[in-house]
Every structure is written in structure tokens, then in C-alpha cells.
Structure 1
Amino acid sequence: MSFLNTLATSTSSSAQPTSAASSTATMSSAPVSLKGDIQVADAPTDSVSGLAWSPTSDLLAAGSWDSSVRVYQVAPNGQTRGVAAYAHAAPVLSVAWSKDGSKLFSGGCDGAGRMLDTTTGQAMQVAQHDAPIKCVRWVETPRGGLLATGGWDKTLRYWDLRSPAPAAVIQLPERLYTMDVKYPWLVLGTADRHIQIYDLSNPTVVFNQSQSGLAMQTRVVSMGDGVYAYGNVEGRVQLTWTSPSDPSAKHQPFNFKAHRTRLPNEPATSYGSVVWAVNDISFHPLYTGTFTTCGSDGRILTWDAENRTRLATFEPAGAPVTATAFSRTGALLAYAVSYDWHRGHAGNTPDVPSRVMVHSCRDDEVKPRHAAK
């Protein structure tokens, strides 16, 4: 492979729908240490907006507010080296790989969707919106692969890479904030708390549309096997099964508190707490139902969806964790520590770090536990 560097838990404090039950998560004991985690070389110089591992190799992509997309080769022990980079004309908001790992896609505030061909090392523009592109994802359909882009121009667009014009343009109810794909579903969240699901056998028609089960703005949505999770700005997460095989209460939608900090001297039964935005959610590629959440509180948490249990709490990273991503085997977890703008422009001080870290996962951090009999 050749590259060309071209860089120039859970009582609601707000009203919740009656269809979504709240669930209490069990906390693990000692926090997971970050001391052995490895920092990637040549990290972005501004906030990291997205991370994505290649589905076929140990390549990690990072998109940043410094307008760059950088690609790192990651060894099994976590050691890294930069192998490629390219630039947008404005901050990058999302990165994603094609199914075969031969192409890397990105979208940004310049309204452009760009692609790096890893076989030739060439970067080129392949998509365009009338406003910033918030999310890019590769979509497999019965008719072949497409690039899906969603933007603040209130559109979802599909692109056949052989044509400069979009294959389809779908009008959304509001600006797109988040999107994820796991065949046969595409799930997205927009402003005003709209959640839409598309069946990729008919990708231009809304399969289901609903209002978020959480009271505040949706920030991230992520898909696992038969389940999707979304988090909001008040530190809550909701889980919903796309096609529940078990119609019992176990697979009914439920939500819980994830990133909350109890105020000093407040009793455990008090509602007094500081709420933090959920910045990203990542499902484990092998352990079905295991997922991470990360937030403005600088913490990463791992969860077991089936047993409604918290598996592990990571030590504070010292600044917001803006993005996470599991490697294709699930052995490594990449995470970004950088400013997430939760305190506005005034909070973006020079002492806020911008780094990408690689953590080697232990089974007790990510493996589901058997439910008690």
C-alpha cells in the first residue's frame, strides 16, 4: 500500500416518554488506568472531531478542527506512525472508511466531502453540500456501495463515486447532527430531536421517524448489532433495538444517566449534579451489546447493553474526550482528548490538550458479564 502526504445511572431528572424505561447501571470497582496508553505521533493541532479505524487493517484516521485528516499505522502494541494526511478548506467534522478499506472519506465545514484513495495516495473531492457536512458514512446497498453524507443544509445525500452529481437527495426535517450505518439500517439524528431510520434495501425512503426519547438535544447516535444508542447534551443515553428477537421488557427501549457528576456534599438520593454532554458512542466489533460512551467530563465508560450494566469507568483524561473508536478486532480503543466547545469560545484556552491516544483493552473492560440468576 502506498500513501502520498498531501497535507498543505438512572432516575430521570427531566420528563421522559412512558415508552422508554429507565435502567440503573451497576458500577465496576477500580477505575481503568490510562498510564499505559500510547499517544500517537504528530497529533492534530486543534480539537479532534472524529476517529475511524480501517475495517481491513490497523490504520486509524483522525479528523480535526485544524482542517486536517491524518492517517496512522498502529502496531499491535499501540505504537504509531503517521502515513498520510490531506486537508480541507475548513474544519473537518467526520471521517469514515469504505468497506474494503481502500478509501477514506471526510466531510467538513467547507461543505465538501473528500476521499483519499489509499492505493494511489490521491485525495479528491467527491461530494458537496450547501452547508457544512456533519457526517459521512459508507453504505452498502443491494445495488452496490454508496457514500452517504448528511449536512446542516437539512439534506441526506447519496453519492455514486462514478458521478459528480448526487445519486439521491433526501430532505430532512432539520439540520443533521449525527448519523451511523450498520447494514441493513441507517440511523440519523437532527436538530429538534428528530430520529430517522432508513432500511438500506430502500435507502431513500424513511422507514421510521420518531422524536428522541431524551428531553434534550441529540449529540451522537451509534449502531451495534440489532441495536442503536444515542446520547444527548445532558449526559443521558437511550438504547433501542431495531428488531428485538425477545419481545420481553429486556429489549424494550430504555435510557439512563451516563455522564453526570454529583455536586459536593450531595447525598446519593439527591438530584443535585453537574451534567456533561455525551460526545461519542462506540460499539465493540466482537462483543455484541458492549459499547463505550465518552463525554465532556473527560471520562470513558463501557457498558453491557444486554445486562444493563456498567462494565468499567476509565480514569479522567484531564480534558473532554471528543471521540472514540474500536479497532477491527476490538483489542485497541482509540480516543481523542481535546476541547469540545461545551464552555464556548472562552473555554478554548491554550492549556487544553489536543491528543489522540490508543488503549489496549482487557476483557474485564469490554466483555459482557453473565446476568445473575
Structure 2
Amino acid sequence: MAPATQYELSPPPGDAISALAFAPNGSTKLLAASWDKKLYAYDVAKPDSSLIKTYEHRAPVLDVCFGDNENEAYTAGMDWVVNKVNLETGEMTEMSKHAAPARCVVYSPAHGVLISASWDCSLNLHNVRDPSSTPIRIPLPGKPHAVAASPSKVVVAMTGRIINIYDLQTIQNLFSSGQTELKLWQQRESSLRYLTRAVACMPSDAGYATSSIEGRVAVEWFEDTAESQARKYAFKCHRQPAPDGDGDIVYPVNALEFHPVHGTFASGGGDSTVALWDAEAKRRLKQYQKFPDSIAAMVFSKDGKYLAIGVCPGFETGQEDYSGEGKTSILIRELGDNEAKGKGAK
């Protein structure tokens, strides 16, 4: 069995990490969005010379995703703008502008649809394969905090414990029909009582997981049958015993990511730890050693070989003058054979 290895990318972003994204098609290119107003491109297969290029933005970059290939990316930022970035030339093209910071951006290569979510309580839908098409604005019932896409669905987690689920084919059909009203596939109330921090969709397209500021993760399935809904569950995690022995110190679960091959998932928290979970068996597979600071973001490579972990100070200690400068790092774990494999998997 090949041993797992772990190393740090250099140089790291100059301030807190907001998002990480691996390129499609098994590429080793990794993008990191940062509060220092830059997007960083790395090659994780070259630990000693991993930085490829940086891309200056006008404001902190809150999210990033790849497009159809490893040279095309989309960013969402504090300047309210959703940008397309040509990673070869550095050229940036404005896709749309919201009326408040653009918090999340996800892309479906199967449908050619880019979806951005803003704190102005809206989604912007973009048909990226038709540059002449106008983005469609969809109002939301709450402020979005996390968005994730499965092969057929988009899950939007908002304030008020609201979760909207949209069908990607329905979104794609909007552009050909000329309509501007998007039919909601389903609306649910979150299984978690407190604010959602992250959402991730199962690669099998069967369901999704959400996490909260209150050290909990919930796992749910899309299928709307009594039997399927009875399978959903939530559990406590990323907690540490209080020094005085009175209860637990509870940390936010800032990051969730499903393994693209095995369907297990990783969670990263404000307690500076990363854990691997088997969603089907409802058990923890592994907890890694403590990292230097809070886990801000995580992503698996598309072939499941690498796990990128963004580490920087969180707000757990209540800093008034927050800065991730000089305290930010991106660690790459090259997974060992079967490291992320579920206990019941063959």
C-alpha cells in the first residue's frame, strides 16, 4: 500500500483563503481564492515550484470554480462582480454584476450553466456557451451562504434554515425557452438548527450534506419518498472537551467535500482538524493530526488522488483586528491507497 504524503504549497496566499478548486479531467492545477484580492493558480504535482500565476481582482475573491477546461475559471467577489478568467492570458471578462457581494459560484459542464449567488438574495444564471445571452436573475427567499452542484441539481443554503433545490436541466431549458421564471424543484428546511456554513453534493447524485456553525453535519437524500427521507441524519463533530470539564467547546464546520470516487466525505472545522466520514455507514473513518489553524476550505482532485486543505485563522477566538496575513497555508495530502474508501466498499 502506497503511503500518504503531505506537503505545503509555496508561496501561500497573502490573506485568508475563501475557496479552493481543482481543475477538471484529472489535472493537477489548483485555484485558491483569497481575501488579498487575488486568485492563485498552483500545480500541486510540483511542491517545490507550485505557483503558476496570480490574477489580480478589484476586491476580495469569495469563491472560484473551473469552467469547461483547466484554462477557464469563474470568480465571485466582494465587488459584486462575477468574472470569467482566462488562466492562460490573465484576461478577465465580467459575466454579470449583483447588487451586493457575490458569495458563491458553481458551474455545470454537462449543462453549460454557471450559477452565482449573492448577498442581495438572488441567483444569476449564465449560459456560458452563448456569450450573447443575458444572465437571468432569480430572487431568493433568504441570504445565500453556500451553494453546491450535483450532476443534476443545485443546492442553495440560505438564512432562515431555507434550502432551495433546483434542477439543472430546467435551468438549461430556460435559455432556450426565453422564459425568466425558474421553477423550484424543491424547498426544504435545514436539518440543522443554526447557520449553514457549507454544502456539498454526493458525486452519485443521490443527495447532499450540510454543515453548521454549531459543530454539526447533516446528510440528506434527494429522493422525496418517506423511505428515503427516513434515512437522513445529523451528527455532532468538530468539538473538544472544555478545559474545566463542563461540556464541549463547539466549533464551526467550515468545509465539506465528497470524494469523487469513493463517495465518502471530508469535513474541516474551526478546531483545526479534518475528518473523513462514511455517509452510508454513518461512521468516522479517520481524523488527521491538528493543523496550524482553522480549516477554511477543502477540495479533492477530480481523480480523488489529492486533498487540498486551506488553513488560516478563523473568527473562533473573536479577533477584532482579523488578518490571515502570514498565517495562511495550503496543504496538499496525497491520499494513500484506499485511504478514503468506505468501510462497506468492495
Q: Where do residues 16-35 of structure 1 align in structure 2 (5 Å cutoff)?
A: none
Distance 2:325 2:47 in 1: 26
Distance 1:306 1:323 in 2: 23
Contact 1:78-1:360 at 8 Å conserved across structures:
no
Shift of 1:310: 0.2
State the match for 2:177 in structure 1: none
Shift of 1:220: 0.8
Distance 2:41 2:156 in 1: 26
Q: Where do residues 124-139 of structure 1 align in structure 2 (5 Å cutoff)?
A: 124-139=93-108
SS at match of 1:325: strand
The Cα offsets for residues 297-342 of structure 1, whole Å up to 9 and x where unpaired, read as 1000000001011010011102101001101111111001102333
Shift of 1:87: 1.8
Distance 2:325 2:149 in 1: 36
Q: 1:273 aligns with which of 242, 248, 259?
A: 248
For structure 1, list consecutive stretches of 5 or more residues without a partner in the other structure. Answer: 1-32
Distance 1:166 1:46 in 2: 34
State the match for 1:361 in structure 2: 335
Q: Does 1:201 align with 2:169?
A: yes
Relative distance call for 1:343 and 1:91 in structure 2 (3 A) is farther
Relative distance call for 1:166 and 1:260 in structure 2 (3 A) is farther
Relative distance call for 1:311 and 1:150 in structure 2 (3 A) is same
Q: 1:238 aligns with which of 215, 218, 224?
A: 218
State the match for 2:76 in structure 1: 107
SS at match of 1:159: strand
State the match for 1:184 in structure 2: 152
State the match for 1:214 in structure 2: 192
Q: 2:259 aligns with which of 273, 284, 291?
A: 284
Of all paired residues, the percent bearing the same amino acid is 29
Distance 1:260 1:185 in 2: 31
Q: Which amino acid aligns with 1:138?
A: Y
Distance 1:91 1:102 in 2: 21
Q: Which deviates more from structure 2 when the two are superposed, residues 109-118 or residues 300-309?
A: 109-118
State the match for 2:28 in structure 1: 58
SS at match of 1:230: strand
Q: Where do residues 289-368 of structure 1 align in structure 2 (5 Å cutoff)?
A: 290-346=264-320, 348=322, 353-363=327-337, 365-368=339-342
For structure 2, list consecutive stretches of 5 or more residues without a partner in the other structure. Answer: 172-181
The Cα offsets for residues 273-311 of structure 1, whole Å up to 9 and x where unpaired, read as 0110010100001002x0000011100000000101101
Relative distance call for 1:99 and 1:242 in structure 2 (3 A) is farther
Shift of 1:349: 5.9
Q: Which amino acid aligns with 1:172?
A: L
Shift of 1:182: 1.2
Distance 2:282 2:337 in 1: 17
SS at match of 1:37: strand
The Cα offsets for residues 218-264 of structure 1, whole Å up to 9 and x where unpaired, read as 11111012120000000100000113899478x71100011111223
Shift of 1:346: 2.4
Distance 2:99 2:310 in 1: 29
Distance 2:242 2:162 in 1: 31
Please give the TM-score of this superposition, normalised by the length of structure 2: 0.88
Relative distance call for 1:331 and 1:350 in structure 2 (3 A) is closer
Distance 1:175 1:318 in 2: 31
The Cα offsets for residues 20-48 of structure 1, whole Å up to 9 and x where unpaired, read as xxxxxxxxxxxxx99x5211112111000
Q: Which deviates more from structure 2 when the two are superposed, residues 342-351 or residues 311-320?
A: 342-351
Distance 1:78 1:195 in 2: 39
SS at match of 2:84: strand
Relative distance call for 1:329 and 1:80 in structure 2 (3 A) is farther
Relative distance call for 1:352 and 1:279 in structure 2 (3 A) is farther
State the match for 2:207 in structure 1: 227
Number of equivalent positions: 329
Q: 1:146 aligns with which of 100, 105, 113?
A: 113
Distance 2:239 2:43 in 1: 35
State the match for 1:157 in structure 2: 124
Give the aligned CA root-mean-square deviation in angstroms.
2.4
Please give the TM-score of this superposition, normalised by the length of structure 1: 0.82
State the match for 1:21 in structure 2: none
Relative distance call for 1:254 and 1:218 in structure 2 (3 A) is same
Shift of 1:357: 0.9
State the match for 1:168 in structure 2: 136
The Cα offsets for residues 81-110 of structure 1, whole Å up to 9 and x where unpaired, read as 221221221111101011433411110111
Q: Which amino acid aligns with 2:37?
A: S
